[in-house]
Amino acid sequence: MITVKADPFAFPLDPDHVALLCIDFQRDFMEAGGFGESLGNDVSTLRTAIEPTRGVLAEFRRRGWPVIHTREGHRPDLADLFPAKRDRGNPSLRIGEEGPMGRLLVRGSAGHEIIPELAPVEGEVVLDKPGKGSFYATDLETILRARGITQLVVTGVTTEVCVQSTAREANDRGFECLVLADCTSSYFPEFHESALRMFSAQGAIVGWVGQSGQLLDALG
């Protein structure tokens, strides 16, 4: 076990059973002209997570530890898009409509791709999901159990939406999550802070919260 400083107490990282989860670092959320901006958000706020995540990703790759990337998006025929999700809010463009980076949140569009800074490399799992949680309607649990993974180091966007949904789903399935605060971000700084506090409150009721530097220090 490797002891990683974290809240509310040290995270006992098991090198043989840990994977890095990079949630939805997609152009649609991170760049102008995508789904995030269509909802009226300032997407530049998410970019703080890129460099810290790059550092952690490099370390996992160097050690040959598993890395899983997720992407939120829908089939081109939108058969997996519930009307309840399609019609929510008052966006300038809806899911499936043509934007500057192709059809919003549709698999195969340029906006659906992971940003170049954190792009997957060969051998890494890329998981497409229709919902906010990474376990809902995907084979993530099967992939993790088949590899004997019991712990997840969690990075991604946005903290209070897809990261939070995924951490809760993982926790309920018995996976231990270390969420790296600086490797997550939100369009709403106050939601980011609140979500992180919710994870680690009550004795890590959802999981642990640490910083990329604490993880990298512990890994030496």
Residues designated as active site:
24, 129, 162
Position 134 contacts ligand C5J (CB under 6 A): no
Q: What is the smallest separation between the CB atom of 24 and ligand C5J, expressed in angstroms? A: 4
Which residue, 61, 175, 73, is CA-closest to 124? 61
| 158 is a site residue for ligand C5J (CB under 6 A) | yes
113 forms part of the interface with ligand C5J (CB under 6 A): no
| CA-based end-to-end distance of the chain | 13
Binder of ligand C5J out of 81, 149, 162, 179 (CB under 6 A): 162
Least distance between ligand C5J and beta carbon 64 (Å): 27
Per CB under 6 A, 135 contacts ligand C5J = no
Using the rule CB under 6 A, is 157 a contact of ligand C5J? yes
29 is a contact residue toward ligand C5J (CB under 6 A): yes
Please list, in sequence order, all residues whose beta carbon lies within 8 angstroms of the beta carbon of residue 131, skipping any fewer than 6 positions away: 72, 137, 165
Residues 45-104 that bind ligand C5J (CB under 6 A): 72
CA–CA dist 8, 189 (Å, integer): 21
What phi and psi values does residue 101 have, to the nearest 5 degrees? Answer: -110, 30
**Site stretch for ligand C5J (CB under 6 A), options 13-21, 153-161, 174-182, 204-212:** 153-161
Kindly list the strands in the beta sheet with 125-129, ordered across the sheet, starting from the edge strand earlier in the chain.
Answer: 125-129, 67-72, 18-23, 151-157, 176-185, 208-210
